[in-house]
Amino acid sequence: MGNSTEGSSVGMDSPSTQGATSTAVKYESGRGLDVGTANLASAIQDGEGNVTIKIQRNAFIDIDGDQYTKNMLTKLNVQYVAINGKMVVVGDPAFELANILNRETRRPMKGGVISPSENDAMPIEKILLENLLSSPHSPNEKCYFSVPADPIDADFNVVYHKGVFSGILKKMGFEPKPLLEGHAVVFSELAEDDFTGIGISCGGGMFNICVSYKSIPALAFSTARGGDWIDRNVATVLGIKASRATAIKERGVNLLNPRNREEEAVEIYYRNLISYTLEAIKARFEASTGMPHFPEPIEIVCSGGTSMIGGFIEVFQDEFQAIKFPIPVKSIRRAEDPLFSVAKGCLVAALSDV
């Protein structure tokens, strides 16, 4: 797999752009899809081994359907769709519009799975997936999509969530194949270690962990805390909207050097979340029977948008030193492309299947 070329889908004009590209480039059969709470990302490989990534925020906002608003959106070149009689802006423009209007975006997913309280979740996800994936390049093209492992600290399973996305992809003409999110990180990042180590997907809704031995998941679970948990808590202590807390987090915070009260709040909740995750991994290791023996120290790889903040790995290493981890670890690092690691891992699985 060659160097990735990363693209961002904005608004609703991407399908025509992707269609124009696909007529000129020969693509391999098989797709990777990261179904994240905060972002959706797709991956596809051409005949020369180059990988193209598309990414879009998994969010939307409904707005007044008057003529003034329509004119404003047209002038700003923001695409919108009509759902159940409402005007809806999806993806990246929805997040930008929410900050301008001081409103919260609506989220089709919550806590790593399809939101049970969001009536428009499924039609929105269908629009976003059609935007990212377009049509299959071959009949029943395999599309591996990420699913969370069952959480250790929340009372739900992922059966319904898995079924919803399988249904959407099947109607689009793909053959859907679910893949554990942490396992996708292993496929993407640990090839040189014979797919042995710990992959952690640090997402918006959850942290997904997979302990793998020679590509086989020995232990997989998730925690119901992620970037959204940080945003909610930061918003509460600062008295601001969660979308504002997200914007603060993404503007260039360094956890090693918080510059004001807002950034200090972000640092405090990040450190707490990392410590919580490491303690959960340690507890699961100590409670599990039949864990493989690792003859050599293993690597821990962190991916996902929540891992991209400055100082994340240093804080992770600091918190790691504070606990007695049950197995030797040779290094802790961030994925080469943290935001795209899960999508690329799903693509590796799809191409291997083909």
| Contact status, residue 309 vs residue 248, Cβ threshold 8 Å | no
Query: Percent of the chain scored above 90 by pLDDT?
Result: 59
pLDDT at residue number 16 = 32
Residue 98 sits in the same domain as residue 208: no
Domain membership of residue 260 (yes or no) is yes
pLDDT at residue number 234 = 95
Return the SS3 of 227.
Answer: helix
pLDDT at residue number 104 = 80
Domain membership of residue 237 (yes or no) is yes
Indicate which CATH number applies to the domain containing 216.
3.30.420.40
Domain membership of residue 262 (yes or no) is yes
pLDDT at residue number 343 = 97
Count CB-CB contacts under 10 A for residue 221: 22
State which residues of the chain have pLDDT below 70. Answer: 1-24, 354
* C-alpha dihedral, 336 to 338 to 343 to 345, nearest 10°: 50
Count CB-CB contacts under 10 A for residue 204: 26
Q: Which domain holds residue 93?
A: 59-102
CA distances (Å), origin 290, targets 222, 228, 284? 19, 34, 12
pLDDT at residue number 24 = 67
Domain membership of residue 138 (yes or no) is no
Sheet holding 81-83, edge to edge: 60-63, 86-90, 81-83
Q: Report the Cα–Cα distance between both ends of the chain, in Å, rounded.
A: 15
Domain membership of residue 170 (yes or no) is no
Query: Is the four-CA dihedral 176, 37, 83, 135 of positive or negative sign?
Result: negative
**113-114/109-110 β-pairing:** antiparallel
Domain membership of residue 250 (yes or no) is yes
Domain membership of residue 274 (yes or no) is yes
pLDDT at residue number 95 = 82
Q: How far apart are CA 180 and CA 203, in angstroms?
A: 13
Residue 198 sits in the same domain as residue 325: yes
| Contact status, residue 122 vs residue 164, Cβ threshold 8 Å | yes
Rounded to two decimals, the pTM is 0.85
